[in-house]
């Protein structure tokens, strides 16, 4: 048999993977070749005649290749393995889930490795055709993810998943070595199924995509416009708030001057309070007070009022009525900018 044995990983009919190490001549006739290969999982060495290695084995009345080439060893041995898989939808909106001997007892989706120089979508079509006999249409990317030594796979691997959404185009589904069982199921009724952790996010992504699919561009534009109008309203409100309270820092500097002017009159005798100078100060105070009112500033009433912890600070006393005001308090547009300091009784 002149067929070449490629070095790499092969899948045996028993579901196990083996790496071909080399071929050698038989020591008896020096003509026939033997294949030396090793178990990927247990590293056990085996030797088999080349003709038998490349031959077929009858299983349940059906002839199947004893070993099927999967991939070159140099790719799987040093790099993550890039695989593609589709969430396939039929006309009833159901998705296809399959069982593969390599995925233990988990439900998964069909798919396979991207070969060198083979576009991902072409790999997808080829793998699905080989594994299920189905043809696909309307293929679109769905998500990207990875799995490092996933618990559902029969051996340690580092997979890079390129996931797609596709519709069933044609074909009758047929079982294969990589698809021993299959079901079509409503994606919203998969919660109780034992599904691989790599496929669950695909179903969730599809269901989320399905929710928003019915939204028209008109609806999305209206929604965006409403958001923009709300933003404008909030911007105007924020600007008004800024203007309203922008004077706070300035008032903290100017109010003590106003207070000192008031205190200068409070300490005058009766005769001095009638002097032209006192009259001038009272006029300035009135102008001062009028300007503050037009800017939204009001003085907090204290003496004789019930003590309010929201607007006042008690320096002495233990009662509820304000007996004396030590330092005036002020509000700006209803907001306390300086509490009044008082004595209560």
The DSSP code sequence of 137-183 is EEEEEEEEEEEES-TTSSS--EEEEEEEEEEEEE-----BTTBSEEE
- Do the beta carbons of residue 73 and residue 7 sit within 8 Å? yes
Which H/E stretch holds residue 124? helix 120-132
Instruction: Count other Cβ atoms within 10 Å, centred on residue 282.
Output: 14
Q: Is the pLDDT reported for residue 1 higher than 70?
A: no
Q: Contact, 80 vs 23, CB < 8 A?
A: no
Q: What is the mean pLDDT of the chain?
A: 85
Kindly tell me if the per-residue pLDDT of 116 is higher than 90.
Answer: no
d(CA 37, CA 46): 5
Q: Which long-range contacts (CB under 8 A, 24 or more apart) does 111-118 make?
A: 111/83, 111/84, 111/85, 111/86, 112/83, 112/84, 112/85, 112/178, 113/70, 113/71, 113/81, 113/82, 113/83, 114/82, 114/83, 114/84, 114/162, 115/71, 116/75
Look at 35 and 79; give whichever has higher pLDDT: 35
pLDDT at 61 (0 to 100): 84
Residue-wise pLDDT tens digits, 201-246: 999 988 888 876 655 556 667 777 888 888 888 888 777 666 666 6
Structure confidence at residue 68 (pLDDT) = 92
How far apart, in whole angstroms, are the C-alpha atoms of residue 34 and residue 15?
22
Partners of residue 145 on adjacent β-strands: 161
Q: What is the pLDDT at residue 269?
A: 76
Length of the chain: 345
**pLDDT for 146-163, tens place per residue?**
888 888 888 888 889 999
CA 178 to CA 197: how far, in whole Å? 19
């Amino acid at each position: 048999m002149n067929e070449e044995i490629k070095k790499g990983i092969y899948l045996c009919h028993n579901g196990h993977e083996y790496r071909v190490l080399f071929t050698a001549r038989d020591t008896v006739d020096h003509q026939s070749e033997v294949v030396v290969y090793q178990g990927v999982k247990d590293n056990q060495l085996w030797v088999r005649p080349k003709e038998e290695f490349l031959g077929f084995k009858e299983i349940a009345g059906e002839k199947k290749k004893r070993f099927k080439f999967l991939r070159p060893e140099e790719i799987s041995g040093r790099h993550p393995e890039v695989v593609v898989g589709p969430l396939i939808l039929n006309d009833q909106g159901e998705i296809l889930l399959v069982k593969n001997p390599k995925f233990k007892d988990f439900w998964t989706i069909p798919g396979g490795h991207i070969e060198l120089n083979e576009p991902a979508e072409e790999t997808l079509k080829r793998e699905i055709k080989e594994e299920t006999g189905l043809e696909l249409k309307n293929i679109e990317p769905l998500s990207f993810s990875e799995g490092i030594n996933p618990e559902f796979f029969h051996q340690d691997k580092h997979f890079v998943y390129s996931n797609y959404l596709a519709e069933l185009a044609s074909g009758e589904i047929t079982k294969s070595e990589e698809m021993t069982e299959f079901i079509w199921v409503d994606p919203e009724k998969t919660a109780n199924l034992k599904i691989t952790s790599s496929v669950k996010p695909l179903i969730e992504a599809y269901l989320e995509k399905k929710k928003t699919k019915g939204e028209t561009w008109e609806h999305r534009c209206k929604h965006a416009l409403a958001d923009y109008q709300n933003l404008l309203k909030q911007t105007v409100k924020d600007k008004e708030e800024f203007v309203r309270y922008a004077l706070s820092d300035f008032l903290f500097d100017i109010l003590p001057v106003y207070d000192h002017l008031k205190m200068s009159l409070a300490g005058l005798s009766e005769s001095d309070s009638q002097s032209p100078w006192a009259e001038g100060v009272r006029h300035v105070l009135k102008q001062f007070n009028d300007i503050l009112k037009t800017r939204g500033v009001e003085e907090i009433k204290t003496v004789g009022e019930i003590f309010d912890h929201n607007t006042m600070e008690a320096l002495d006393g233990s009662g509820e009525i304000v007996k004396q005001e030590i330092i005036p308090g002020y509000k700006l547009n209803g907001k306390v900018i300086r509490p009044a300091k008082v004595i209560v009784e």
